[in-house]
Amino acid sequence: MKTKQEIIPLDFEKPLIALSKQISELEEKTLKNGDSKIVGDLKNQYEKVKGQIYKNLSPIERIKIARHPQRPYPLDYIQAISQTWYELHGDRTGKDDGAIVGGLIEIDGQTVMVIGTQKGRDIKENQKRNFGMPSPEGYRKALRFFYHAEKFNFPIVTFIDTPGAYPGLEAEAHNQSHAIAMNLRELAGLTVPVIAVVTGEGGSGGALALSVANRVLMLENSVYSVISAEGCAAILWRTKDKASEAASALKITAQDLYELGVIDEIIPEVEGGAHYDHKQACENVLNSIKNHLRELKELSPEELKTDRQEKFRRMGAFSSI
Partner 1 sequence: MGLKDFFKNRQLKKAAKLAANGNGHDLKVEPPVCDDQLCILWTKCQGCNELLYTSELKKNYSVCKHCEYHHRLTAQERIDLLADYGSFLEIDENILPGDPLNFKDLKPYTVRLKDAQKTSNSKEAIITGIGTINNQPLAIGAMEFQYIGGSMGSVVGEKIVRLTERAIEKRMPLVLVSSSGGARMHEGILSLMQMAKTASTLKKLHEEKLLYISLLTEPTFGGVTASFAMLGDILIAEPQARIGFAGRRVIEETIKQKLPKDFQTAEYLLENGQIDLVIPRQNLKNIISELIRLHFKSTKLKDEVMPFSQIPLFARI
Per-residue contact flags (x/-) with a copy of itself for residues 52 to 91, judged by CB under 8 A: ----------------------------------------
- Contact flag: residue 181 with partner 1 (CB under 8 A): yes
| Contacts (Cβ under 8 Å, ≥6 apart) of 8 | 68, 69, 70
Are 104 and 88 spatial neighbours (Cβ–Cβ below 8 Å)? yes
d(CA 297, CA 192): 9
Residue selected from 39, 179, 233, 296 as contacting a copy of itself according to rule CB under 8 A: 179
d(CA 231, CA 243): 8
66 binds, among a copy of itself, partner 1, none (CB under 5 to 8 A by kind): none
- Contact flag: residue 92 with a copy of itself (CB under 8 A): yes
Chain residues 125-154 in contact with partner 1, contact rule CB under 8 A: 137, 141, 148, 151-154
What is residue 233's DSSP assignment? Answer: I
Are 269 and 221 spatial neighbours (Cβ–Cβ below 8 Å)? yes
- Contact flag: residue 230 with partner 1 (CB under 8 A): no
Are 17 and 6 spatial neighbours (Cβ–Cβ below 8 Å)? no
Per-residue contact flags (x/-) with a copy of itself for residues 139 to 168, judged by CB under 8 A: -x----------------------------
- Contact flag: residue 93 with a copy of itself (CB under 8 A): yes
Give the chain's largest Cα–Cα span: 77
284 binds, among partner 1, a copy of itself, none (CB under 5 to 8 A by kind): none
- Kindly indicate which of the ranges 36-44, 51-59, 65-73, 250-258 contains the residues binding partner 1, using the contact rule CB under 8 A: 250-258
- Contact flag: residue 254 with partner 1 (CB under 8 A): no
Are 113 and 71 spatial neighbours (Cβ–Cβ below 8 Å)? no
